[in-house]
Every structure is written in C-alpha cells, then in structure tokens.
Amino acid sequence: MAKSCKFAVIKFASHAQRDERLNVGLLVDRDGVLEVFHSNKLDKLRAISAAIEPADIISDIVELPDLANKLGGRPFENSKVLENLSNLTSFSFVQQGSFDCSTNEIYLYCVSDLLRRYVEPEPAVLRPVKKRSSKLRQDIRKALLSEKIMARREEGLDSHRVIYKHELSQGVVADFVLQNGAMHVVESVDATSDSVSLHRCLYEIAMSALTFEHARINFENQHVRPRLIYSSNAEIEAAISPSLYAAQHQGAEVINWESAEQRAKFITNFVSLAEPVDTAETRPSLFHASALPTRKLN
C-alpha cells in the first residue's frame, strides 16, 4: 500500500549578519521514522566560508533524527519540534511537502528527484524532463481541442484557456494547466500499453504527486486543484489502486478515463471553467445566395 512521506529541505545558514544560505540535504518522515539525505557536493559550502569543513556539516545532518527524537519526535506533526531543531543547529527547514510511495524503490526514486531539484548544484543547462508520449495524453488534448478551450501557442495562463505541457519550474512540466480563480493542474498516467511496466506506472503516479507539489509552491497562495487522470485495464488497475488512493488522499481528484461518466464530468467541468477560443476572426464569411445581387451569382 502506498504511504505518504513528508519532507523538508535542510538549509545551512551562516552567521546572521551575512545571511548566506545553501540547501544541503533533506529531512524525510517515512511512516514515523526520520531519515536524512545530504548532497554529495558539499564543497559548495566553502563559498560561504573557507573555515567550514563539509565533513562536520555531514556529521551534523546525520545527527538530526536523534536530536529530533530527543525533542519530542515527529517534527512534521509538531511545528515546535522543528522550530527547536532549527534553534539548536545551524540549519533551517524550508519548502516542506509530501510525496507517496508504495515500494522502497519508488521511495528512493522520489528522494533522488527531490535532491536533484532542491539540493544538488544545478547543471549548466537544465532542460525539462521529456515525458514519454502516451495515447491518453493525446486523447485528453483532442477532447479539449474539440471543445475549443485549448490555448493558442502564443497565449499564457491569463487567457483562461488550457495550456498544454506547461513548465512549472525547471525540469517540471505539467500535462495541462488552466487558470481560472484556482489553478487546475492535470497529470495523466497511461497504463494501457503492453510496453509499459507496472513499475513505470507506479513511478509516474509518484512523480505526478511531486508535480502537484511543485504547482503548490510555484503558484504560492493561489488555490491549486490537482487532477490525476489514468487509463488502464482491470489487472493493472488493481495493482496501482493503492497509489491512486494515496494520490486522492493527498488532495488530487482521480479520474478514470475509461469511465464514460467520469470522462464526461471532467470535460464538462473544464468547459465551464475555461474561456472558449473566439473563432469569429478565422471563420469565413458565408452568405446565402438569396441575399446576393443577381450579378454576383454565376
């Protein structure tokens, strides 16, 4: 069964007068057990001070779970524990979030992804992660296109139409995003192809949770309405249902595209939220022959 893990980015802070900070690791609550993960490239701390020994910082990071337990444990459920943990160390804990995982392998995938996004030094050129093409994603796009609520290439979120493959942050792309009061973020998982493994489907569901978390961070105080659309056969659906339930528990609306009722409800909902494309400019002018002068008729 998929379990929810909470995390916070560990930020090292220098002397208060200098106010220099660097992300150095992650603090993760996995089913009540605290774990820490640190960057493998802590030499960047020397940019703050040549007197800093990365090995000492690693030692301090590793001791955080024991210190948290002495302070009362479960810092993500008791903000006072996290506050005291920050006061007693040179670390602060920011960008808190959560993700779901059903296996240890998925858990490590998620942690690795979070380290890459928040902690490890950015590469010289970081391009959005290219998602595998899927029939489901194209079917959703065609359905929204037929309702004339997909944004044009040059349009942005302020058009109040659906943006396809919207980049939330570097390397994080949502399948569909619509801004209308709230931010409606849609991710899709296609489990109908024989070439796609169960492991891959579980991984994509876990990654969708991280995409939703990025949306909440990216859009700050704006209300985010996440939706996870999936398509699968009965056998695969039984295997991924715990992960789908976990996504639902985290606030995502889960939609089965194979269900005509759920599919119609989703499309109707989006049509009511989006501003339709005005086709008046591109529509040719048509006149009935009876309205034309005789000389205009052949």
Q: Return the CATH number at 151.
A: 3.40.50
Ramachandran class of 242: left when φ > 0, alpha when ψ lies in -120 to 50, beta otherwise: alpha
Residues 142 and 198 in one domain: yes
Nearest to 101 by CA among 93, 92, 110: 110
* Same domain (yes/no): 75, 179: no
Instruction: Clarify whether residues 139 and 15 are in a common domain.
Output: no
- Let me know whether 108 and 145 are in one domain: no
Same domain as 161, residue 94: no
Percent of the chain clearing pLDDT 90 (strictly above): 35
Residues 143 and 113 in one domain: no
Half-sphere exposure of 67 (CA within 13 A, CB side): 18
Q: Does 249 lie in the same domain as 144?
A: yes
Q: Residue 32 — pLDDT band, cuts 50, 70, 90?
A: confident
Is the domain of 189 the same as that of 73?
Answer: no
Angle between helices 198-218 and 234-249 (to 10 degrees): 20
| 4-8, 127-131, 196-200 — most confident range | 4-8
Domain C-terminal end among 86, 119, 152:
119
What's the rounded mean pLDDT across residues 165-173? 85
Are residue 89 and residue 172 in the same domain, yes or no?
no
In-domain check, residue 128: no
Q: Is residue 278 part of a domain?
A: no
pLDDT given at position 283: 47
Burial group, residue 87, by CB count within 10 angstroms (0-12, 13-18, 19+): exposed
Does some domain include residue 10?
yes
Residues 257, 266: Cα–Cα separation, whole Å: 9
What pTM did the predictor assign? 0.57
Residue 289 lies in a domain: no
pLDDT recorded at residue 267: 96
> Average pLDDT of 260-286?
79
Q: Are residues 140 and 103 in the same domain?
A: no
Same domain, 61 and 186: no
- State how far the Cα of 112 lies from the Cα of 106, in Å rounded to an integer: 10
Q: Is residue 74 very low, low, confident or very high in pLDDT (cuts 50, 70, 90)?
A: confident
d(CA 273, CA 253): 16
Helix 104-114 × helix 198-218 angle, to 10°: 30
Of residues 8, 13, 49, the one with CA closest to residue 29: 8
Q: For the chain, first and last CA: distance in Å?
A: 73
Stretch 218-246: mean pLDDT, rounded?
87
Residues 36 and 26: beta-carbon distance below 8 Å: yes
Predicted confidence at residue 282, as pLDDT, reads: 46
Residue 162 domain flag: yes
Provide the mean pLDDT of the chain. Answer: 83
281 falls within a domain: no
Average pLDDT, integer, range 204-224: 85
Entry field: residues in the chain = 298
Number of domains into which the chain is organized? 2
Task: Identify whether residues 26 and 107 lie together within a single domain.
Answer: yes
pLDDT band for position 1 (50/70/90)? low
Considering only residues 278 and 100, tell me which one the structure prediction assigns the higher pLDDT. 100
Are 263 and 140 in contact, with CB atoms under 8 Å apart?
no
Q: Is residue 80 part of a domain?
A: yes
In this structure, the strands spanning 182-191 and 172-180 are: antiparallel
Which pLDDT belongs to residue 298? 39
61 within some domain: yes
Task: Among 33-42, 47-56, 200-209, name the one with the lowest average pLDDT.
Answer: 47-56
Which burial class, exposed, middle or buried, applies to 155 when counting CB atoms under 10 A from its CB (0-12, 13-18, 19+)?
middle
**Residue 264's domain spans which residues?**
135-273
